[in-house]
Amino acid sequence: MNQSIHAVVFDAYGTLFNVHSVIKRCEQFFPGQGESLSRLWRSKQLEYTWLRSLMGRYEDFESITRSALGYACRSLDLGLLHGQAQSLMDEYRRLEPYADVPAVLDALRGRRLAILSNGSPGMLDDMVHNAGLGSFFDAVLSVDALQIYKPHPTIYQLAIDRLATKAERIAFVSSNYWDAAGATSFGLRTFWINRAGTQPDELGYAPYRSLSRLDQLTAALAG
């Protein structure tokens, strides 16, 4: 086991939790459009976090998620009723963890574990609780404390401050390349979970390791 890594910090959305588990509910309301709605919703959700940060006009992740849902439905010409909107928003509080997540977290016991996410505190707390994963984490950290979104460098400092651990002793794990690049630029040792086999963005900061599955993380940390 690599003794230089004292803590492992995970992104939440797309890394531990499958944002596209909402497709089932989307499909229930809009047959044949579930996948398209989920993907456009997620894309616009991320775009809004970056735009809000650049504008200096913060809104919490729950508000951004609701706005992105409205945009996606209008773009796809889907008539979204108020009750449907609330039901879809509720899905973000019970996103499904990827199948390998519990075993990976259990294998990492002995190190300090945390989540560092764009999510609003209430959304994150409900999601972690509903998935039965709360006992694994020493901290669930939200950008809401600083009111700016990843990959702003001040966000990664949150993990250092809360875990009282030096940057070089923290492994940061994300499936979002832009997030891994931001954490690398900041000085964390990063692991990119590239489940979809996508090309890395050209941002000038490559992750320490690229893995195709989360369950490869324990071996990578031991190396």
Average pLDDT of the residues in 206-211:
96
Task: Indicate the pLDDT class of residue 4, thresholds 50, 70 and 90.
Answer: confident
Domain ranges across the chain: 7-16+98-222, 19-91
Parallel/antiparallel/unpaired status of strands 209-211 and 96-97: unpaired
The CATH number fitting domain 19-91, selected from 1.10.150.240, 2.60.40.2470, 1.25.40.10, 3.40.50.720: 1.10.150.240
CB 11 within 8 A of CB 195: no
Annotated catalytic residues are: 11
- The answer regarding whether domain 7-16+98-222 maps to CATH 3.40.50.1000 reads yes
CA 115-118-122 angle, to 5 degrees, is: 75
Is pLDDT larger for residue 3 or for residue 193? 193
Average pLDDT of the residues in 183-198:
96
Q: How many residues does the chain have?
A: 223
Residue with tokens 């579930």: 34
Residues 6+ apart with CB under 8 A from 182: 150, 151, 152, 153, 155, 156, 205
- pLDDT at position 1 is 39
Average pLDDT of the residues in 195-203:
95
Taking the model in full, what pTM does it have? 0.95
- pLDDT at position 223 is 73
